[in-house]
Amino acid sequence: MDALILQILNGLDKGGAYALIALGLTLVFGTLGVVNFAHGALFMLGAFCAVTFNKFLTLETVTLDPTQQTPWGTAMEIRTPVVEAYLGDFGAVLINYSVPVSVLLAIPVMLVIGIVMERGLIRHFYNRPHADQILVTFGLAIVIQEIIKHYFGANPIPQSAPAMFSGTAQVGMLFGLGDAIPYPWWRLVYLFFSLAVIGLVFAFLQFTTYGMVVRAGMRDRETVGLLGIDIGRRFTVVFGIAAVVAGVAGVMYTPVLPPDFHMGMDFLVLSFVVVVVGGMGSLGGAVAAGFLLGILQSFASMNEVKSIFPGIDQIIIYLVAVVILLTMPRGLMGRKGVMED
Amino acid sequence: MSKLIINRRGLLKAGAMGGVVLAAPTHFIRNAYAEDMSCNMPTGDTVVFGFNVPQSGPYADEGADELKAYQLAVKHLNGEGDGGALATFSSKALKGNGVLGKKVAYVTGDTQTKSDAARDSAKRMIEKEGAIMITGGSSSGVAVAVQSLCQDMGVIFMAALTHSNDTTGKDKKRYGFRQFFNAYMSGVALGPVLAEAYGKDRRAYHLTADYTWGWTQEESIKNATEAQGWETVNAVRTPLGAGDFSQYLTPVLNSGADVLILNHYGKDMVNSLTQAVQFGMREKQVNGKNFEIVVPLFSELMAEGAGDAIKGIYGTENWNWQLDTAGTKAFVQSYGKEYGAPPSQAAQVAYSQAILYADACERAGTFFAPEVIKALEGFEFDGLGNGKTLYRDSDHQCFHDVLVVQGKENPKDKYDTLEIKKIVPASEVTYDPAIFGGDLGPYDAKTCG
């Protein structure tokens, strides 16, 4: 029982990340009709917003002390933290909360990156075949990845969750199981955060006029254009929003998974499977498929399951994708006519 | 006036005499192998080394460090810089004028930590760029693949970072040499230290990277800990590059195990260790004991990546820059001055392997591969950092002291991550080569097709 609950929590947590990335991916596909292989890179860029902010907060001044020597015979470097020395206790608090604060920083940064990406490159590929779009966005992802590697190196850079969330929560207490189910606080925070972001995106699309126009544009771009609405501009903003969603998902994921330049690519492939399983262009489908696949992946890793089907944990997602596509070719919630021309 | 008459008999006699005279030096002068040609033997005034390291992919940082060390070795071989560990190296064959009077040049390849990419880049360096030897690699999968290619092409492969027992065990090759230690040696060194630190009544749970290195390390550590009285509760294979290990970590929590052994390396190890700590495993009490985590193979770069999570955790290393040997000091001094940071163990193994190959050519008096191999086989040396070392002839594995290290609780700076807890002498980690089987294969020279 406790093992099952733990795996469900793991699945929900992982599913939250899949869903957030897949949501942006399917949003861009639904509005602009572009298959954006650089979307994983946006998740990674978000994570590196947190890394950059943390690096800024922990900047040090370097002075050489000729009285002390390094083992290789040069003068010892004395490092003094700048921000903490300047801001005192507030500086220490800021460093402690650098990940959540980075979310605020990542929102404008990712919005700008998204809009620049769409205006600068992707809009030139709207009328080109999907294969061209995939090639150019994939190329873009590699370029972004290599730039990050050049500046930050290839090794993962660990980021700490705020001290108050760094321990484990005794989830078992809720089920009367005592301390059998310890679960990291930050993973629970991430789960609620992803649910909140998903809720916000749906609320934006459902309850605002802007969102209504976007949804109308997703259904019939031409008619919305004929009504005198500059749907292109709105879709650019949607691209920016998708970038923000992926970015903040990346920021909050850093204490779970130390970010490196390749993390976007690792998530991208799975997120594409999520989008396809959920139904191309379907927002609800992406979220449902994200959580479903996350949970299935966790269950498949259980020793009891692996002893019956060895190696199932490594293929489960693709197996489910094959089964769903064979039985429901449009995915779980796919709309008729999408990618069927 | 005499008349010069050349008849048929005379001509044949003269021809035979001439032939004997011309052939004589190759038979009577030592190390003159006029007819002995192996792949890419230099004809001009330079000899080309091939450095095949991961320049992209998950081990790119390790690869970058290896490449820096190779470049430093080339400098020292060519007589530039401060000479580094050449001054402390026990063999005095190298004179700082290149190798056998030829200046050392190099070409590089990117293994991407993928066996096929590594083989392609090694092949390119050999066939198109004239590399006489190949050295490098991070990952045993890559090393085994490149080593077998080198055997087929008749090119010596000086393996750098590879820790699987298979590299000099079942997959050993005549043309492959390894200075780095292996999983078996890690197990033998680590077992008694773990039993002393955590007691003999322990239950271990292994998470293992699912490829050659992970499998052999799991087996070696299992054998070593079970010999100390530990019980192995479970050993679970995890896909390489899994990223999030939570679904593999949670079953550990209620498995009854009180030690988690992470047979992971590089990015996988950083992720699995960080996440294990997040799941509260370091504060956990099981069977009335503190839950412990062990990482059998450490590296400084991984320790830097894992940050605070590494504190107090035991593992082993091939070499550490804080080691108190003359060779280490000379190398650290030279490397530190050049790059402003201490070298990692990846850098040290790369540097040593380049120097050892060059020295073997110099001692053999030729670049002819079978003779260079013979010069390396059974070679005993000192002064490159690991203390007294033997390149065993039966499996081409180096035997030297192995370090048991522990993540430092209060590091002075970002390089001061690991503390040497015990230096296990070479004699204790030496084993019978028969236990891993394999066949070195022939010395036959090839001429690159």
CA A83 – CA B139 distance, rounded (Å): 40
Chain A nearest C-alpha distance from B57 (Å): 7
- The percent of residues above 70 in pLDDT, for chain B, comes to 92
Q: Which residue of A has its CA nearest to B255?
A: A3
Chain A nearest C-alpha distance from B227 (Å): 26
Give the Å distances, CA to CA, from B310 to A72, A289, B325: 25, 36, 26
CB pair distance less than 8 Å for B250 and A3: yes
Q: What is the mean pLDDT of residues A181-203?
A: 93
Domains and CATH numbers, chain B: 46-181+321-400 (3.40.50.2300), 184-317 (3.40.50.2300)
Query: 3-class DSSP state for residue B174?
Result: coil
pLDDT, residue B17, reads: 53
CB pair distance less than 8 Å for B251 and A302: yes
State the amino acid at position B104 in one-letter form.
V
Q: Which residue of A has its CA nearest to B341?
A: A72
Which of B66, B138, B244 should be substituted to probe chain A, the one whose Cβ sees the most A Cβ atoms within 10 Å?
A: B244
Residue B162: pLDDT over 70: yes
Q: What is the mean pLDDT of residues A199-228?
A: 88
Q: What phi and psi values does residue B397 have, to the nearest 5 degrees?
A: -100, 135
Closest partner CB to B271 (pick from A156, A267, A301): A156
Across A232-252, b (16+ Cβ under 10 Å) vs e yields: eebbbbbbbbbbbbbbbbbbb
Tell me which of A158 and A194 has the higher pLDDT. Answer: A194
CB B259 within 8 A of CB B290: no
Residue A9: pLDDT over 70: yes
Q: Which residues of B touch A186 (CB under 8 A)?
A: 278
pLDDT, residue B2, reads: 45
Residue B397: pLDDT over 90: yes
Most confident residue range from B6-10, B25-29, B416-420: B416-420
CB B356 within 8 A of CB B61: no
CB pair distance less than 8 Å for B337 and A266: no
Long-range contacts of B170-173 (CB under 8 A, 24+ apart): B170/B436, B170/B437, B170/B438, B171/B144, B171/B147, B171/B438, B172/B395, B172/B396, B172/B397, B172/B436, B172/B438, B172/B439, B172/B440, B173/B147, B173/B148, B173/B396, B173/B440, B173/B441
Residue B147: pLDDT over 60: yes
Closest partner CB to B333 (pick from A13, A73, A301): A73
Tell me the per-residue pLDDT of A63-105, one tens digit each, with 9 for 90 and over. 888 888 888 888 888 888 888 778 888 888 888 999 999 999 9
- B416 touching A (Cβ < 8 Å): no
- The percent of residues above 70 in pLDDT, for chain A, comes to 97
Q: What is the mean pLDDT of residues B414-418?
A: 86
> How sure is the predictor about A130, in pLDDT bands with cuts at 50, 70 and 90?
confident
Task: Calculate ∠ Cα B378-B381-B387, nearest 5°.
Answer: 125
Tell me which of A289 and A153 has the higher pLDDT. Answer: A289
CB pair distance less than 8 Å for A257 and B335: no
Which of A12, A44, A70 should be substituted to probe chain B, the one whose Cβ sees the most B Cβ atoms within 10 Å?
A: A70
Residue B26: half-sphere exposure toward Cβ, Cα within 13 Å:
9
Pairs of residues, one from chain A and one from chain B, whose beta carbons lie less than 8 Å apart: 125
Q: Which residue of B has its CA nearest to A6?
A: B250
CB B285 within 8 A of CB B318: no
Tell me the per-residue pLDDT of B82-114, one tens digit each, with 9 for 90 and over. 999 999 999 999 999 999 999 999 999 999 888
pLDDT, residue A222, reads: 84
CB pair distance less than 8 Å for B301 and A13: no
Chain B nearest C-alpha distance from A217 (Å): 37
Residue A24: pLDDT over 80: yes
CB pair distance less than 8 Å for B254 and A154: no
Most confident residue range from A19-23, B23-27, B71-75: B71-75
- B243 touching A (Cβ < 8 Å): yes
Task: Please report, for chain A, the start and end positions of each structural domain, with discontinuous segments joined by +.
Answer: 2-327
Most confident residue range from A138-152, A258-272, B235-249: A138-152
pLDDT averaged over chain A?
Answer: 88
CB pair distance less than 8 Å for B279 and A149: no
Residues 6+ apart with CB under 8 A from B58: A154, A260, A262, B113, B241, B266, B267
CB pair distance less than 8 Å for A257 and B56: no
Residues 318-377 of B with CB under 8 A from A: 321-322, 329, 332-337, 340, 342
- B314 touching A (Cβ < 8 Å): no
Which of B234, B246, B325 should be substituted to probe chain A, the one whose Cβ sees the most A Cβ atoms within 10 Å?
A: B246
Residue B32: pLDDT over 50: no
Among A83, A65, A84, A89, which residue's Cα sits nearest to residue A75? Answer: A65
Tell me which of A304 and B258 has the higher pLDDT. Answer: B258
Closest partner CB to A70 (pick from B59, B270, B336): B336
Most confident residue range from A328-337, B5-14, B68-77: B68-77
Q: Which residues of B touch A3 (CB under 8 A)?
A: 250-251, 254
The DSSP symbol for B294 reads: E
pLDDT, residue B227, reads: 95
CB pair distance less than 8 Å for B271 and A257: yes
Tell me which of B14 and A266 has the higher pLDDT. Answer: A266
Q: What is the mean pLDDT of residues B409-417?
A: 85
CB A219 within 8 A of CB A30: no
Closest partner CB to A2 (pick from B239, B254, B322): B254
pLDDT, residue B22, reads: 46
CA B55 – CA B69 distance, rounded (Å): 14
The DSSP symbol for B99 reads: B
Tell me the per-residue pLDDT of B308-336, one tens digit each, with 9 for 90 and over. 889 999 999 999 999 999 999 999 999 99
CB B372 within 8 A of CB B156: yes
pLDDT, residue A54, reads: 93
Closest partner CB to B58 (pick from A154, A256, A258): A154
Residue B34: pLDDT over 60: no
Tell me the per-residue pLDDT of B261-280, one tens digit each, with 9 for 90 and over. 999 988 888 889 989 998 88
Among B130, B231, B229, B144, which residue's Cα sits nearest to residue B182? Answer: B144
pLDDT, residue B57, reads: 67
The DSSP symbol for A161 reads: P
Residue A1: pLDDT over 90: no
Closest partner CB to A167 (pick from B60, B267, B280): B280
- B414 touching A (Cβ < 8 Å): no
Q: Which residues of B touch A160 (CB under 8 A)?
A: 307-308
Q: Which residues of A touch B274 (CB under 8 A)?
A: 158, 258
CB pair distance less than 8 Å for A184 and B304: no
pLDDT, residue A337, reads: 62
Q: What is the mean pLDDT of residues B58-68?
A: 86
Q: What is the mean pLDDT of residues B337-350?
A: 94
Chain B nearest C-alpha distance from A142 (Å): 11
